[in-house]
Structure 1
Amino acid sequence: MSAPAQLTVEGAGIVCGAAVFVVVGVVALLLFWGRTLPIAGPDSLGQFVAIAGGIIAFLAYLTGRLWRREGLTPFQTTGEARPAPQPRSQAPSALGSRHRSALPLSSTAGVDIFDTFAIALAHGILALLGWLVLGAVLANGFQDATVYHLSATALAAAAAGVTGYAVFLSAARMDLMRLSTVLAEFAVVGILTSMLSAPDPHWWQLHLSALGMTQSVSSLAFNLTLIIAGVIVTAIARYATDARGIEDPRRRSAVLRVRVGLILIGVLLAGVGVFTLNISVTLHNVSAVGMVLVFALVVFWVRGALPNAPRSFFVLGYVFFGAIVLMLVFFAVGYYVLTAAELVAGVLVFSWLIVYLRVSGAAAEEAANVHVVED
């Protein structure tokens, strides 16, 4: 009797984590031998774990997708791990969390490979920044403490093993709902890392974009977070707005409008990170303001694209749009500083995108289940 699908995925994840534990442990032992290391900072245990974790996360995600034997596609074929083969007449044709039927590697579309690498890069940067922040927190808790080479080796290997295990499972089970969580975590960790490491502690007195104007690690984290997040939003737009199988021309048109809107939001979000204020004030402002304007359009277009979505979802979009307008009015009259208006607008746009991904994924999954039952 074969093991249940979920246990098969867990078993593969454990093997991946164990392999990473051994490899990183050997490398760390060779590098750390005879040394005592600080917890954070240059040449520290935290720095090694962060770099190793970033590399491991990137590779583990690609490994998890290839383990599915579907090629480098962004999402799993079914909600289960490694499904049993079905006769062609019984294979579901609807696209839920599936979004792509199983394809051999040679048949994988180039855009699928690009999307997969973008999501893998997000996992890598998330692991890198996450371990850096944790190292800084621990160093603050253990002032002036150092770690001996054997303890440092064990800690580094364990951290890398956990990273490999978690990211492998994320890749093997990736769908729109899980990706919404990854996107949220990536944005939060990236922005917080930038805030905590900003060379000017009073950056907030200017505006949020001040985080990306210096030549520091803080600015690199801020701009890279915006760019990668924008690439991910652009990449997943076509999966979250799949118009295949929609016969109603009005709904199909609405879905395509939402797709264009999401792509523009992703491009403009990346533009905010590419065109920092010290590079081009005009392009930076056009990207930021344009993203808010396109978001406003998408909020009103989405009802036609997802007519079966819960009413609360549409109300949420209208409330978020109203709140953004209110924040801009407060800034215009001098009640709010620009940083507060930018933070509120950014958080609301991102929050709505994450909710949209989850609602879209749930709607597609429900449609796929209905199709299977009818078959």
Structure 2
Amino acid sequence: MTETRQRSTERVTARAAALNLEGAAIVVGGAALVLGALASLPFFWGRSLPIAGPGSVSQFTALAAGVVGVVAYVVGRLWHRDALTPFGGSPSRQPAGDHPARRAVTASAVFDTIVIGIAHGIIALLGWLALGAVLADGFTDATVYAVSATALAGVAVGVTAYAVFLSATRIDLMRLSTVLAVFAIVGIIAAMLSAPDPHWWQYHLSALGMSNTVSSLTFNLTLIVAGLMMAAIARYATDLTGVEPEQRPRLLRVRVCLILIGVLLAGVGLFPLDVSQILHNVSAVGMLIAFALLVFWVRPALPGAPRSFFVFGYVSFGVIVLVAVFFVTGYYVLTATELVAGVIVFGWLTVFLRVSGAGARG
């Protein structure tokens, strides 16, 4: 009877915490809606605006939503927490009457939070731009009056703040793997669709980052931020808390590989081919080498992971080697080789984060 009563109390507490969180998210979204509308009104007043393109509703909305997304993420991380931590404990996950220990604010924790917040902001920015382009195609030559544009911008910013705030309060390795995947996919596709040369694919994937255009900026920024995200979450994917001494070196090797992959991926975006061919190629090749080491070092570091995960890693490595052979023999063009290798690396890393998150939950 006592056990049943305790479970019932925990369910009631969890339900109250969830409702409290939703209430806070509504307040944050409502405040962002009002601020977004007030900020957009001077820009829209007395004008009829296009849906997409320069000076359009979607352009202003995307920029505002991007900024609000970063702020909402930081606010969400501070919600019910004693310090600015990317993966801190929340009272909603603790038994009634229990309080988390106060955590000191460290430079690495602030860096991690800002990087992940920027990723949320860029996803919001590109998402609203993409939606604006789709709506512009559906409503050809349509314009939006100032009052309607103000209302739409406010609602879009409010929805962004609401969604990002909830994402921040519930973020963990499982959810972060989805954020990383969505961020990379949205960024690369946006760069492809906005590329000034429609035949960029006839050269190589890195051609997307070689022009002084929005497409190039989007491509390179996506790689840089995705790399920083990977480096930032490396410590949390290889948490050493409570780990046996003999297991620590194995996890540290995996952590070093993850950090290297993140830093080198950022290097690919930081040094486009037209800036430094040597640094660009060294970053790309080094990332693949670090990935190969990670695939073969992860098994002793995660002995409890399912066997299918390790098989998936070996198969992924084998496919990368195969497409490299196809490229050398002239069967594949460089763009196809880079796309296949990139998808495989990001796919494996996403699964790795989910497996690590599942292990941490257990």
Determine the structure 1 residue equivalent to 2:66: 54
Aligned equivalents of 1:148, 1:297: Cα separation in 2: 57
Residue 260 (structure 2) pairs with residue 264 (structure 1): yes
Partner amino acid, structure 2, of 1:153: T
TM-score normalized by the length of structure 2: 0.94
- Aligned-residue offset at 1:253: 1.4
| C-alpha contact (below 8 Å) 1:180/1:357 kept by paired residues | yes
Determine the structure 1 residue equivalent to 2:22: 10
Structure 1 spans left out of the alignment, 5+ residues: 88-100, 367-375
- Aligned-residue offset at 1:85: 4.0
- Aligned-residue offset at 1:50: 0.5
Aligned equivalents of 2:132, 2:252: Cα separation in 1: 44
Q: 1:102 to 1:149 in 2, by over 3 A?
A: farther
Determine the structure 2 residue equivalent to 1:148: 145
Residue 77 (structure 2) pairs with residue 65 (structure 1): yes
- Aligned-residue offset at 1:167: 0.2
Q: Is the partner of 2:144 in helix, strand or coil?
A: strand
- Aligned-residue offset at 1:345: 0.3
Aligned equivalents of 2:90, 2:39: Cα separation in 1: 37
Aligned equivalents of 2:69, 2:51: Cα separation in 1: 21
Determine the structure 2 residue equivalent to 1:309: 305
**Partner deviation per Cα, 1:37-59 (whole Å, 9 max, x = no partner):** 00011110010110000010000
| C-alpha contact (below 8 Å) 1:271/1:287 kept by paired residues | yes
Residue 318 (structure 2) pairs with residue 319 (structure 1): no
Alignment: residue pair count: 350
Determine the structure 2 residue equivalent to 1:298: 294
**Partner deviation per Cα, 1:64-93 (whole Å, 9 max, x = no partner):** 111122321001415945864427xxxxxx
| C-alpha contact (below 8 Å) 1:68/1:82 kept by paired residues | no
Could you tell me which of 242, 245, 249 is aligned with 2:242? Answer: 245
Q: 1:83 to 1:134 in 2, by over 3 A?
A: farther
Aligned equivalents of 1:311, 1:82: Cα separation in 2: 33
- Aligned-residue offset at 1:248: 4.7
| C-alpha contact (below 8 Å) 1:68/1:76 kept by paired residues | no
Determine the structure 2 residue equivalent to 1:281: 277
Determine the structure 2 residue equivalent to 1:90: none
Aligned equivalents of 1:148, 1:327: Cα separation in 2: 52
| C-alpha contact (below 8 Å) 1:64/1:168 kept by paired residues | yes
Aligned equivalents of 1:359, 1:21: Cα separation in 2: 37
Aligned equivalents of 1:28, 1:155: Cα separation in 2: 10
Higher RCO (C-alpha 8 Å, min separation 6): 1
Q: Is the partner of 1:147 in helix, strand or coil?
A: strand
- Aligned-residue offset at 1:297: 0.5
Residue 198 (structure 2) pairs with residue 201 (structure 1): yes
| C-alpha contact (below 8 Å) 2:84/2:105 kept by paired residues | yes
Aligned equivalents of 2:92, 2:345: Cα separation in 1: 32
Determine the structure 1 residue equivalent to 2:53: 41
Residue 173 (structure 2) pairs with residue 176 (structure 1): yes
